[in-house]
Structure 1
């Protein structure tokens, strides 16, 4: 069984982008020379609003229904994300940081995880019947790895994510590298992770095609940045209360069902909603497989 899991807002209690950004502003001498982070964020939000306004004025393409148009909207948001990355690179936010891996390790100490998230991650990564990947549009796989390691040295999931470019322990300022695992499953030579469509492309390379993903894949995410893998996996699972994700799913004709009802649901267009990570151990396919897995992890402790 393939299990792909988003990081920010899914495993974590909140987005960690700002924690990574702070690495570039930690040194006071650097900070005084950089564009304030607040201005970079404001520029991103302005671009996002402008993109939305222009999209609303643009007519649908020939033969395009509402659902197809909605998915195209989230795919084409890539232009906003790319522009933001270029802005940060040109500002030199991550350029010339020595011992950047150590700086990311320190920043990771402030990561807050959702209750039971690491417990569940530890359980499923110990079972040989699961293939597990963290799939994220985060800027730093090193940050993700350090955040998880800080909570549990036993958890070593593979990570498909972007990465800061580092040469001789010093960051170059480029944000277009990938984690080793992402390089292995890179669908194209120029592929990066910006949107949910990109996430799905990497996932399908990992699972050797859409058939394996649709028949034996589980995706867990919290936002519209997870939309495409959520609706294509056999088991699409959301966590949290993102109104934009719920609205998008409903527009696409999906029913949102409590995860506790996973065994009784017969609707093909369904996304399940986790109330807490420990529910994954109490219901559904993960519970069934774990019961037949030899583990040093006691599932009953989480009941």
Structure 2
């Protein structure tokens, strides 16, 4: 189990800390704690923890803020089967021809939209920038002519427009014509300022497309072998990863920022909605490209519920959550503890004072942090070795013994006595999960076309906290394997029913679940985790996905020969090798783990869009 203490315990009084407007004191506790920065690393008992993802800098421009806010759609576009195949170089030529024909309609709509925006702008510099951007689009259309010649395309035959292309081009031209809800058409606008608003709205609908193509071009370019001149789509990649295209994307964003300066909050909300809608329509465009070849993505594409079973396992603390559950439990214990001058009712479980409790937590935390680092150093080979699962398992047995001793000290200290079950459940209900985590699990368990089994394996002291966190999002179907508090009349006794305390406990639970689930169906296992405690499970699964950036996980893994591969490049590599009728390309115990930076990547890879 993990034990994480806040580096600077909250100093406010219980009355201030727990706002009485909430049904439970734990709710406001959680809200107060959730914005605090935690240390950068987390492990089992009292490691420092990865900090919560920082909020967007308010000084960042409007276009950049929107790009960050709607990052999910850009990830899903990159992970679309079309883009994975294009990046790999084995995209079927018929699909590429169809795409080029559709993109031709996109570019014509862009040129027309820029022309309409230029007529609405009342600033000479803005007009000059828009004119330049329109010329860039016309140059891009010429690039299409070059591609057409290279591939022998006949646009007269290839130009039938599909519904996804129609939806975006109609949306863009309607916006550029002022046909936005609550906005007058340009011909009816009374003032130059009202026209400028339409120009801003138009840029709001165009900017995400420019930024997305620049993003994809650079991502694909980074995967090209400089010596490989045979990649059939290198010219496309070179164009969208070029400095000139990046310059056009930046100019579009800067122009959007400039045109939006004088707009009201309500008008900025309109631009945000237009930006998001454009991103979604662009994603639909990539997904609509017809594929006539086998692909490695999404993982469930060939899933047959009658024959297959998808087993998904996940850690909880900092894999799913933005703060460690032990930190929440520690805060509840400290804040709800009696003051030193308060008398305690005889019929209640005796608790130490808040001051003594804080001091005890600090001592336990310091001791754990020092000994944890020493333990990690003691299990590392002097030099990097070849991957051997059994050797790694043996090394982590020593870490497991240390973790159990640390947890025994916590129990013996009495710091967990007196926590109210209602406070714990309320804290769980309002525990902040990483963006996209809950929606991923919701899509898994509610997909009637999937035969899935989902398990949460956690060192959390109190399984009730986890169950509350997921049940608030309608995810009661998840199987939770964690430790449990013991309660007397809903008040914790300070004891723990120990079920999953260490890396060895966790991998045993993982193995037992797989053994008990064996049937005639074909199992495919995925494990998602973030720390050293997850390492054995990550490697034992068919697919191990590391989320976050735990330095201790990578240090231990690399020293024991584990290879960490970013998921998208890994998929592109597998797509290059993938052919019709290939046997399963996923199997465990290979020593390779895949890294992601968000749950959007996990979702896009496993489920698709």
In which range does the TM-score fall when normalised by the shorter chain?
A: 0.7 to 0.9
1:199 aligned to which of 475, 486, 506: 506
CA contact (8 A) 2:486 2:495 kept: yes
Describe the SS at the equivalent of 1:282: helix
Q: Quick one: distance in 1 between partners of 2:509 and 2:593? A: 21
Say whether 1:164 aligns with 2:485.
Answer: yes
What is the match of residue 439 of structure 2? Answer: 119
Describe the SS at the equivalent of 1:24: helix
C-alpha displacement at 1:205, in angstroms?
A: 1.2
CA contact (8 A) 2:404 2:501 kept: yes
C-alpha displacement at 1:49, in angstroms?
A: 3.9
CA contact (8 A) 2:422 2:490 kept: no
Provide the TM-score with structure 1 as the length reference. Answer: 0.76
Measured on the aligned residues, the alpha-carbon RMSD in Å equals 3.1
Change (3 A) 1:109 1:241: same
Describe the SS at the equivalent of 2:332: helix
The size of the alignment, in residue pairs, is 265
Q: Quick one: distance in 1 between partners of 2:544 and 2:325? A: 23
1:9 aligned to which of 318, 326, 331: 318
Alignment of 1:65-84 (within 5 A): 67=388, 68-84=390-406
Describe the SS at the equivalent of 1:22: helix
Higher strand share goes to which structure?
1
2:549 aligned to which of 230, 241, 244: 241
Q: Quick one: distance in 1 between partners of 2:386 and 2:543? A: 25
Q: Which runs of 5+ in 1 are unaligned?
A: 178-191, 288-298
Say whether 1:217 aligns with 2:541.
Answer: no
CA contact (8 A) 1:196 1:224 kept: yes
Query: 1:42-96: CA deviations, max 9, x gaps?
Result: 121233244356657x99xxxx988555432322112222222222222211224
What is the match of residue 273 of structure 1? Answer: 595
Provide the TM-score with structure 2 as the length reference. Answer: 0.40
Say whether 1:40 aligns with 2:343.
Answer: no
C-alpha displacement at 1:203, in angstroms?
A: 1.4
Q: Which runs of 5+ in 2 are unaligned?
A: 1-309, 339-352, 575-584
State which structure, 1 or 2, has the greater radius of gyration over its C-alpha atoms: 2
2:451 aligned to which of 129, 132, 150: 129
Say whether 1:103 aligns with 2:423.
Answer: yes
Q: Quick one: distance in 2 between partners of 1:70 and 1:210? A: 26
Describe the SS at the equivalent of 2:504: helix
C-alpha displacement at 1:110, in angstroms?
A: 5.7
What is the match of residue 289 of structure 2? Answer: none
What is the match of residue 292 of structure 1? Answer: none
CA contact (8 A) 1:121 1:155 kept: no
Q: Quick one: distance in 1 between partners of 2:571 and 2:548? A: 17
